[in-house]
């Protein structure tokens, strides 16, 4: 029997000009993958179809499914740009500097980016109670392998074993690393889910994208996947959709392909910047339109690092579709969405607007630490909540994620 989590009182934390009588729970932290994260548990015969290393002109790159990936400039991570290096850029770039200039200050790879005990010590310094921990590269490679179902299954089963060995699905009730699950084969997905549940995983992470199967692409709400969703519903584990490579096309308006590289000079604005939010909106709307929350009423979905500015349009479309399809929904789809979905906005989003749409019970704090587009220090976010009372602030910073972190089996 799972025990309800308690929220211990701690010494006051001062952040953003406020005194917090608790330590926040950060729902969006990341590791930088070890050199053998994608290779340690892949059988030798399958390695050419999965992820390998190569060296080109003195630099190391990943080869994914036989093709060199340039998703990041340096997948060895050493040296690494500092957390929040692009803070000013995402705040509106009032300093008028190029991102390339902002990224010049680099440092040797800190231990807390790849060692869990060092990370716990860092959480203590930051005043953070616990974190959900997600991949950096791991959310990018299913798209590159999706046409080879066996490679997807082999790679991510191996990757999850590395995650558990190096980080742990639950390490000391401080670090909760999420296993990455692909629905490419429903039996495989259920096997990985059971493995994750056995290791006390509190979340599982999927990419917000249509599912590529042996039968072709399918909606995540397709009845083909009902056995998986039924087990998720029964186990009461939170499903996270996290930003990554969802395979979205710019339809010729911009160069396609996911990349985190920042070139020299000032970047050119393009619609490609909105691909992450488009992917999240489509995924979340599809689950609602396909009545997944009516079919599986114990589902809890957390949208992490996908932004939030799509919410007004999503609610308009849900109301429109409900009006055009009398009798399809047995529940108001907008209220169903608010009941089953939690939103982690980008830190630069207007969180007050998000609360207006979702309510303070459905918004969760995440810093994206230690990524360059995240916050320099996680508790820098407290200043964004200055217009909320103590009760709403506590929900956003702590209680909502603590609730999601507790498995609630049927």
Confidence of residue 258 (pLDDT cuts 50, 70, 90): confident
Say what the pLDDT of residue 94 is.
82
Residue 242's nearest CA partner among 200, 209, 290 is: 209
Mean pLDDT over residues 366-387, rounded? 97
Q: With bands split at pLDDT 50, 70 and 90, how would you rate the model's confidence at 4?
A: very low
Global pTM exceeds 0.85: yes
What the block records as the tokens of 116 is 């869990």
Could you please report the per-residue DSSP string of 132-189?
EEE-SSTTTHHHHHTT-HHHHHHHHHHHHHHHHHHT-SSBTTTEEEPPB---SSHHHH
Q: For residue range 9-22, list pLDDT tens digits in order.
A: 566 777 888 899 99
Residue 212: which H helix or E strand, with range?
strand 211-213
pLDDT at 349 over 60: yes
**pLDDT tens track for 129-169:** 999 999 999 999 999 999 999 999 999 999 999 999 999 99
Banded model confidence at residue 78, pLDDT cuts 50, 70, 90: very high
**Are 131 and 23 contacting, i.e. CB atoms less than 8 angstroms apart?**
no
Cα-based torsion angle of the residue sequence 279, 283, 289, 290 in order, rounded to the nearest 10 degrees:
150
For residue 1, the model assigns a pLDDT of 33
Q: What is the pLDDT of residues 211-225, one digit of tens each?
A: 999 999 999 999 999
For position 10, what pLDDT does the model report? Answer: 64
Region 254-278 average pLDDT: 78
- The least confident of 29-43, 243-257, 344-358 is 243-257
Percentage with pLDDT > 70 across the chain: 95
d(CA 361, CA 22) in angstroms, rounded, equals 18
DSSP letters spanning 332-384: -HHHHHHHHEEEE--TTS-HHHHHHHH-GGGB-----BTSTTS-SSGGGGGGG
Confidence of residue 340 (pLDDT cuts 50, 70, 90): very high
pLDDT band at 2 (very low <50, low <70, confident <90, very high): very low
What are 370's strand-pairing partners? none
On the question of pLDDT at 67 being above 50, the answer is yes
pLDDT at 316 over 70: yes
């Amino acid at each position: 029997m799972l025990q309800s989590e308690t929220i211990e009182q701690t010494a006051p934390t001062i952040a953003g000009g406020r005194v917090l009588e608790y330590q926040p729970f950060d729902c969006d932290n990341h590791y930088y993958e070890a050199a053998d994260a994608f290779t340690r548990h892949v059988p030798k015969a399958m390695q050419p179809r999965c992820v390998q290393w190569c060296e080109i002109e003195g630099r190391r790159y990943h080869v994914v499914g036989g093709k060199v990936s340039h998703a990041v400039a340096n997948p060895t991570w050493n040296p690494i740009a500092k957390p929040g290096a692009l803070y000013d850029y995402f705040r509106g770039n009032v300093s008028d500097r190029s991102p390339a200039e902002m990224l010049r200050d680099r440092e040797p790879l800190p231990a807390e980016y790849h060692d869990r005990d060092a990370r716990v010590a860092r959480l203590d310094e930051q005043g953070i109670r616990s974190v959900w921990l997600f991949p950096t590269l791991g959310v990018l490679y299913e798209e590159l392998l999706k046409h080879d179902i066996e490679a997807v299954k082999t790679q991510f089963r191996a990757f999850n074993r590395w995650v558990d060995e190096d980080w742990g699905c639950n390490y000391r009730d401080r670090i909760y690393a999420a296993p990455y699950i692909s629905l490419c084969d429903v039996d495989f997905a259920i096997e990985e889910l059971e493995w994750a549940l056995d290791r006390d995983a509190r979340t599982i992470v999927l990419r917000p994208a249509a599912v590529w199967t042996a039968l072709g692409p399918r909606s995540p709400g397709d009845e083909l996947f009902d056995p998986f969703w039924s087990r998720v519903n029964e186990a009461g584990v939170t499903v996270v959709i996290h930003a990554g490579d969802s395979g979205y096309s710019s339809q010729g308006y911009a160069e396609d392909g996911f990349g985190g590289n920042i070139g020299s000079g000032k970047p050119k604005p393009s619609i490609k910047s909105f691909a992450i939010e488009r992917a999240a909106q489509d995924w979340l709307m599809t689950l609602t339109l396909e009545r997944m929350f009516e079919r599986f009423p114990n589902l809890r979905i957390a949208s992490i690092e996908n932004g939030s500015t799509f919410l007004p349009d999503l609610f308009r479309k849900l109301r429109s579709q409900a009006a055009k399809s009398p009798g399809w929904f047995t529940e108001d789809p907008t209220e169903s969405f608010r009941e089953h979905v939690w939103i982690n906005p980008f830190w630069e989003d207007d969180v007050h607007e998000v609360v207006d749409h979702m309510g303070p019970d459905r918004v969760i704090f995440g810093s994206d630490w230690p990524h360059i587009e995240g916050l320099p220090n996680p508790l820098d976010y407290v200043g964004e909540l200055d217009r909320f009372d103590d009760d709403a602030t506590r929900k956003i910073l702590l209680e909502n994620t603590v609730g999601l972190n507790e498995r609630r089996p049927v």
